[in-house]
Amino acid sequence: MLELKNVSFSAAGAAGRVEILEDVSFVLPAGRILVITGPNGGGKSTLARVIMGVETPTAGQIYWQGQDITALPITQRAKLGIGYAFQQPPKFKGVKIRRLLELAGGHEMGEMECCAYLSKVGLCAQDYIDRDADASLSGGELKRVEIATLLARRPTLAIYDEPEAGIDLWSFSMLVETFKNLRQDENQSIIIISHQERILQLADDIMVIANGTITQRGPRAQVLPGLQADDYDPSCPAPASWKEVHLGNDAKGGARV
């Protein structure tokens, strides 16, 4: 179970400190898919980076499986079973895609096993396993390779930041099917940051973040119809009708998703 309690994050700006996240609290139980959406620049990716440990919150606590991980570095969080697919994947000059999959999975892989992971994101193993994960790949190809490595890692908490970015329609359809299959794993929690309605439809819970705060959260059936009625445009500020859905607090005081 993931729990955030009153998490805030600020960064230096031209006019001083800028609050990017402010007093964010929620709980993600095991085996559930949480899709986070909201206007561009609202703090969604920053929240993912804070959970992974790429950024350190300026206030609040983060708990994973009951352990306070607020001050833990990325490597320690990864060892605890947290994985993250970046919005803009890193490049690895001189590292073969097969090797990336092996490092993620923790063992050597034959072509068939590599194919099993790459095919889930619309890539043919024969065309890719011996290629470098570098600038010779397109942004969409790098994105799919990174998602495949996260699938190979099988983290207990997987965070996907806009997995549809730069991916063609056919590959996106395969990715949606992959996420559908991941729903069967009751031990894995998943956070997906997305604006795509097909991904929102996969959610157990939806959370809207705008201007650094949670403006709405709740079960998909309760939240999604309101977003559809608002003709949601991610480039615009949050509509006035995005009101928070109160779901009650847990024993520790954190609002549950």
Instruction: Find the CATH number of the domain harbouring 119.
Output: 3.40.50.300
User: Is residue 251, in this structure, part of any structural domain at all?
Assistant: no
> Is 45 inside any structural domain?
yes
Residue 153 lies in a domain: yes
Q: Which domain holds residue 225?
A: 2-229
Stated pTM of the model = 0.81
**Cα separation, 182 vs 190, whole angstroms:** 9
| Exposure class string for 105-138: b at 16+ Cβ within 10 A, else e | beeebeeebbbbbbebbbbebeebbeebbeeebe
Residue 252 has what pLDDT? 40
CA 144 distance to own-chain centroid: 14
Six token digits for residue 84: 């993250």
In a domain, 236, yes or no: no
In a domain, 254, yes or no: no
Is 241 part of any domain? no
In a domain, 34, yes or no: yes
Q: Is residue 89 a part of any domain in this protein?
A: yes
Enter the tokens of residue 199. 């991904």
Q: How many domains does the chain have?
A: 1
* pLDDT tens per residue across all 257 residues of the chain: 999 999 999 988 777 888 999 999 999 998 899 999 999 999 999 999 999 999 999 999 999 999 999 999 999 999 999 999 876 677 788 889 999 899 888 899 888 898 888 888 888 878 888 888 877 887 778 888 888 888 898 899 999 998 887 777 777 887 888 888 877 777 889 999 999 898 999 999 999 999 999 999 999 999 999 887 755 554 454 444 444 443 434 434 333 33
Closest CA to 239 of 219, 220, 211: 211
